[in-house]
Structure 1
Amino acid sequence: MATHQHHLHAGDDLRSAAKAQLTEAGEQWTGMREAVFDALAGFDRPASAYDIAEAVSKAQGRRVAANSVYRILDLFVTSNLAMRVESANAYVANAHPGCLHDCIFLICDKCGQTKHIDDDHLADGVRAAAEKSGFAPTRPVIEVRGTCESCTA
């Protein structure tokens, strides 16, 4: 499997890397954006905008609308701070926001755990097949559904 190496961030280091990536893209790192990012990063599996809105509402002691969260999540995806799991309409924080690559998700149908892997060879093949068909791919997302190692044991 062709892969590339990245520095995976976690906790405060992940928040700092995300903030740096967003500001480098010319966007502001606001209190609400930080709260949404922290909530997203706090989930151990893909989270919907409603899950995130509920977590932020609870943390801030006031209601936060899912529509506001959706707008911020769209910005995060565009800025490579988050990745969208299309089939679940859910999001995961990107543990290496400084590295731009195509998304390959392994999604467990039993527990919902989602693992993100990188395989440049596979992603490049998908891009090449699309281009050969006259299609200009923007961002391929590959999702593989099945059973994770924990659930098969």
Structure 2
Amino acid sequence: MGEHNHNHEVHSGERLIDAARDSLLSAGEQWTSMRADVFEELASHERPASAYDIADNLSAKRGKRVAPNSVYRILDLFVGNNLALRVESSNAYLANSHPGCTHDCIFLVCDECGEATHVDSDEVSKTVRGIAQDAGFATRRPIIEIRGICASCN
């Protein structure tokens, strides 16, 4: 899985937005006003948000229509640069609380309230990557989703 050469500090609020901007800029990408708005909107959600949710909220804030396709492109850029995490089963996104971190994605997804909790487990990641390697498969970034009921809904 490789060594993680970054500060594994969890960010929130303005510090999260600053960390995301710094991470994207250090990757050689631009931090445009639209990208900033999309990230800020994404970061304001406690539960995974769809591109349509983000586009609708930004349209209301900006007073003009923001196309979901534009939001999808930005979210894909964010996922590719580890600023956001994609919950595959619900096609929704979460802001990565430690931008730039490349831990594998392990989500606990509640079927009742929709909450998706991202957890890190080097042990699980090592096992999954080992299984893939034994099968001759080169992994990029495993995404594991465990569906069930969260403690609040249980």
TM-score > 0.5, shorter chain as reference: yes
Residue aligning to 1:53: 55
Q: Take 2:128 and 2:22, find their aligned partners in 1: how far apart are those partners?
A: 30
How far is 1:59 from its partner? 1.3
Q: Establish whether residue 108 from structure 1 lines up as the match of residue 107 from structure 2.
A: no
Q: Which residue, 10, 13, 21 being the options, matches 1:11?
A: 13
Say what the alpha-carbon RMSD is for the aligned residues: 1.2
Q: Take 2:118 and 2:8, find their aligned partners in 1: how far apart are those partners?
A: 13
Between the two proteins, what is the percent identity of the paired residues?
60
SS at match of 1:151: coil
Q: Take 1:44 and 1:55, find their aligned partners in 2: how far apart are those partners?
A: 15
Amino acid at match of 1:24: S
| Deviations 1:57-86, CA, capped at 9 Å, x for gaps | 111111000000000000000000000000
Q: 1:71-150 counterparts in 2 under 5 A?
A: 71-150=73-152
Q: Establish whether residue 41 from structure 1 lines up as the match of residue 43 from structure 2.
A: yes
Amino acid at match of 1:43: H
Residue aligning to 1:69: 71
How far is 1:140 from its partner? 0.2
Q: Structure 2-normalised TM-score?
A: 0.94
Residue aligning to 1:151: 153
Question: Which blocks of at least 5 consecutive residues in structure 2 are unaligned?
Answer: none
Q: Structure 1-normalised TM-score?
A: 0.94
Q: Take 1:6 and 1:147, find their aligned partners in 2: how far apart are those partners?
A: 28
Q: Residues 81 and 100 of structure 2 are in contact (CA less than 8 Å); yes or no, is this contact kept in structure 1? A: no
Amino acid at match of 2:123: H
Moved more, 72-81 or 54-63: 54-63
| Deviations 1:23-73, CA, capped at 9 Å, x for gaps | 000000000000000110111100111011111111111100000000000
How far is 1:6 from its partner? 2.6
Residue aligning to 2:23: 21
Give every structure 1 segment of 4 or more consecutive aligned residues whose post-TM-superposition deviation is greater than 4 Å.
none
Question: Which blocks of at least 5 consecutive residues in structure 1 are unaligned?
Answer: none
How far is 1:98 from its partner? 3.2
